[in-house]
Amino acid sequence: MPMEQTMRWFGPNDPVSLRDIRQAGCSGVVTALHHIPVGDTWPVDEIDRRKAMIEAEGMCWSVVESCPVHEDIKKATGNYRQYIQQYKDSLRNLAQCGVYTVTYNFMPVMDWMRTDVHFELPNGARALYYDRAAFIAFDLFLLQRPNAEADYTQAEIASAAAKLQTLSPQQRETLFHNALLGLPGSDDRFTREGVLKALAQYAHIDAAAFRENLFHFLREISPVAQELGIQLAIHPDDPPYPLLGLPRIVSTEADLKLILNASPETANGICFCTGSLGVRPGNDLTGIIERLGDRIHFIHLRNIRRNGAGDFYEADHLDGDVDMYGVVHALTQTMRRRGVSLPMRPDHGHQMLDDLTKQTYPGYSCIGRLKGLAELRGLELGILRS
Ligand code: DNO
């Protein structure tokens, strides 16, 4: 049984249309009600309307990505109890409409982080890039986060300073904006003041406290999800290590195990993202599938190429440091054992060909994802037939 092929759609304003996604070969769509403010309940009529749009193009709404978690829940402050209730209400409404897989993340303040969203590859296509020295330069010299120096070695600070010297004022501006790009699916950007304020609110929340906040949330929502038949899929940290002094607790296999053990329902599961987990050389991706595969509810397949300095770029789906053959092989075995077809989306793609002149969400132009999906589909078919 092959994986269910899906693509992410950012809704009616996405320059990539549902028809494009259908033509790419997808039967499922991954989307979210991005226009609903974070924390508000997703109403049934809005869910139904979105679902009808997808079905009108001959596909189904396979996965919600994301139903975002309000910062109050992450910090266990303010109105977090009410936000948890509202989260449960959104799950109830989704189940009522027949949408049963929900992805979310528990990264504080920001979601993914890249320093360059137009990194030019030798063939002229563009990819997303994380340059650690540039990121540190952003943190120390552009954001000027108080006490940031304490998080870095002298050598790191020196190479960040050297990096800054190579950047023109325009490039510094671009770096600043890239690092503060809003959540995917929104055009809002953080301001410097806004970020510093948001970061300061985590000053007293270390990894252990942050983990407790996640576990509390899970113990509240997992039983509800289980009863509704909803599968929750937590997305790993991207990149999978602490940034800007913030705790990150979904970065390793050990983290994932703690999360799965925190609430025993099978509804409490994982979005297995190879591009996020793969950035840490110590993460054994095929081993994670073998050991935690029963709780994988959604799959993001993406490749990355790292260097020894903590930099990485998003490589072709079948090229890079992630052993995509091994990953897809392990996934096919897990699905066979469980008797399920898990939804999979090619995560990100290069901006290439006609898309080079189009304005799309970073990582989510059409042609590069179509290429990735086609390659992955062929890889999987070959594995299934051999
Ligand atoms: C980036 C995405 C993430 C992901 C969220 C899930 O392209 O993979 O933004 O959607 O972290 O909550």
Average pLDDT of the chain, as a whole number: 96
pLDDT of residue 185: 46
The predicted-structure confidence for 56-66, as pLDDT tens digits, reads as follows: 999 999 999 99
Is residue 273 among the annotated active site residues? Answer: yes
Does the Cβ of 298 fall within 6 Å of ligand 1? no
> Taken in order 164, 167, 173, 177, is the CA torsion positive or negative?
negative
Each residue of 112-134: pLDDT tens digit?
999 999 999 999 999 999 999 99
| 42-51 average pLDDT score | 98
DSSP SS3 for 152: coil
Question: CA 184, CA 174: separation in Å to the nearest integer?
Answer: 17
Q: Is the CB of 105 under 6 A from ligand 1?
A: yes
**The whole model's pTM is what?**
0.97
- Whole-number Å distance, alpha carbon 184 to ligand 1 midpoint, is 7
Sheet arrangement for strand 126-130: 116-120, 126-130, 312-315, 303-306
Q: What's the confidence (pLDDT) of residue 365?
A: 97
Q: Give pLDDT tens digits for 265-289.
A: 999 999 999 999 999 999 999 999 9
pLDDT single digits (tens) 171-225: 999 999 999 886 554 555 678 888 899 999 999 999 999 999 999 999 999 999 9
For 189, what's the count of Cα atoms within 13 Å in the CB-facing half-sphere?
10
Catalytic residue among 97, 100, 235, 238: 235
